[in-house]
Structure 1
Amino acid sequence: MRKVVGISQKTRRAWLDAGLDLLVQTTNEAELRELLDKYLIDDLPGKESRAKSAGIVLRIWSSIPPKRVSIRDRALALLPQISGQERIWLHWGMAALAYPFFRDTAEVVGRLLWLQDSFTTKQVQNRIVPVWGDRTTVTEATQKLITSFIEWGVLHSSRPGHLEPSERLRTDNEELELWLLHALLAANPADEIELNQLWRLPESFPFCYSLSVADIRGCGDLEIHRQGFDMNMVVIRK
């Protein structure tokens, strides 16, 4: 069975912010869709493109599987504590949970940036296609997602066709850092991750963490256990 890509439009960060603000007002999805449609009409006069973009925003923030609702609700609880710029930490984690294609593309970008200072969209597509299939929807979605990353400010182009990471994002809010790590661990297909790799998850390439091992141990959502003689693994606490 083919995996569903689900990302058919470039998504502006302001649209995600709007969806988040509306969610604070109402959790009724029909009302959210109507309000979001009104918000998007100036940017997207076409009804079809507006509906697709609204669908992406709603899938990230509203159409949440029951097992993810607690993560989303903790994100909402963080809103009064963070700045508008810091909201990208929340959008990133929720998008990774909502769209495996988002997580996989971010991981590919992160791995490329481990190896080199810049990359091309074609290099990302060449690594995504073997996993998601050689389909037009896959190559187009990769392009749209990379364009979204640029609009969100986590990538930039210093020369034609080549993309580089922007300055990594930092926060003084320890809870926000822990929340993102929890969300990315929940989105990861692996059941557990080596502790030493937790701060270096390639899919979290835009972010810089200041957490210590003690912070991870003190997190109610994460648990550390020893595997073998000298390897510590992190899992989501059940």
Structure 2
Amino acid sequence: MTRRTDQIGFSQRVRLEWLEQTANLVLAGNDKAAVNEALQDLLKDKVSVGGQAERGNREKIITILLKTWLTVPSELESLRIEGLELLKRVPRRDHLAIHWGMVMAVYPFWSGVATQTGRLLRLQGSAAAAHVQRRVREQYGERETVSRAARRVLRSYLDWGVLQETGAKGIYSAGTTLAVEESRLIAWLAEASLHARANGSAPLKDLIDSPSLFPFRIKPVHAENLVAASSRLDLLRHGLDDDLVMLREDHRKKPKRSKLGDSGSS
């Protein structure tokens, strides 16, 4: 079976407000059929050229929206439940971080594109779409589907405001940078990032400073505090400054279930 970290999956341009609407529908207690119907209505005149929506693309977008906030893979159920709780609790400005984290956990391809984008932004202050696509193809294969999906992810970053156009075609600079300072949100975002990694673990510094989180300025945190904030994270200490943060095996294999939007299997 192909691992999620090897799949593309996220192949459409998805706006942040569509994810927000999906999460709100789930929080309101709607089942899968009701959420699907509401999203069909929301997108019927939006996913198109000239106002004529292509049903195929709309269906693909709705699949992404549902899989992010409703029909998640079983090992992400606990992450989803807490993500929904965070959306209810944290200020609206922090919602971007929660949607970003949930998308990267469900669709590691999003994280892969973000990693290449973030690296280029750090190196030269800008990111060329062609360079991002080339690096992503090196990881996922020399296929047109990979390039096309990467382009649509980049367009999503633009829509979300975390990238912005420059004067040169296909060259982007950093957009909005969001400070993440709340300890529970930092721990949740770290957990989401680990789910996007094939081995489910990373040194603390690599995790918090990952280029895949380029839109965020994350407050420095001690590994002990990170693990204390989440029962689903574990810590392996190799040395004084070498803390390895990892997903706890029991939570990866036995996710908790909840009534909160728990209609993904319906």
TM-score by length of 2: 0.82
Structure 2: segments with no counterpart, 5+ residues: 48-52, 251-266
Give the CA deviation at 1:68: 0.7
Alignment map for 1:72-151 (pairs within 5 Å): 72-151=80-159
1:183 equivalent in structure 2: 192
2:258 equivalent in structure 1: none
Q: Deviations over 1:195-228 (max 9, x none)?
A: 2222211111111111420532422332322125
Between the aligned partners of 1:235 and 1:73, the Cα distance in structure 2 is: 19
Q: What is the RMSD computed on CA atoms of the aligned residues? A: 2.0
Give the CA deviation at 1:31: 2.2
Alignment map for 1:27-66 (pairs within 5 Å): 28-44=31-47, 45-66=53-74
Q: Deviations over 1:13-61 (max 9, x none)?
A: 1111111111112352222211211121231333222212111111211
Q: Which has the higher contact order (CA 8 A, sep 6+)?
A: 2
Deviates more, 1:83-92 or 1:42-51: 42-51
Give the CA deviation at 1:11: 0.6
The reply to whether residue 202 of structure 1 matches residue 211 of structure 2 is yes
Question: 1:216 aligned to 226, 243, 254, which one?
Answer: 226
Aligned 8 A contact 1:97 1:183 in 2: yes
Between the aligned partners of 2:227 and 2:31, the Cα distance in structure 1 is: 36
Between the aligned partners of 1:197 and 1:49, the Cα distance in structure 2 is: 35
3-state SS in 2 of match to 1:225: strand
Question: 2:28 aligned to 25, 41, 47, which one?
Answer: 25
Question: 1:231 aligned to 223, 232, 242, which one?
Answer: 242
Between the aligned partners of 1:171 and 1:231, the Cα distance in structure 2 is: 23
3-state SS in 1 of match to 2:234: strand
- CA 1:16–1:217 in structure 2 vs 1: closer, same or farther (change >3 Å)? closer
Q: Deviations over 1:70-127 (max 9, x none)?
A: 0000011112222223211111111111112111111111222232111200000110
Percent sequence identity is 30
3-state SS in 2 of match to 1:57: helix
Amino acid at match of 2:194: L
Between the aligned partners of 1:178 and 1:229, the Cα distance in structure 2 is: 21
3-state SS in 1 of match to 2:246: strand
TM-score by length of 1: 0.91
Between the aligned partners of 1:9 and 1:142, the Cα distance in structure 2 is: 9
Deviates more, 1:183-192 or 1:1-10: 1-10
Between the aligned partners of 1:126 and 1:113, the Cα distance in structure 2 is: 15
Give the CA deviation at 1:153: 0.7
Q: How many residue pairs were aligned?
A: 238
1:69 equivalent in structure 2: 77
Aligned 8 A contact 1:104 1:203 in 2: yes
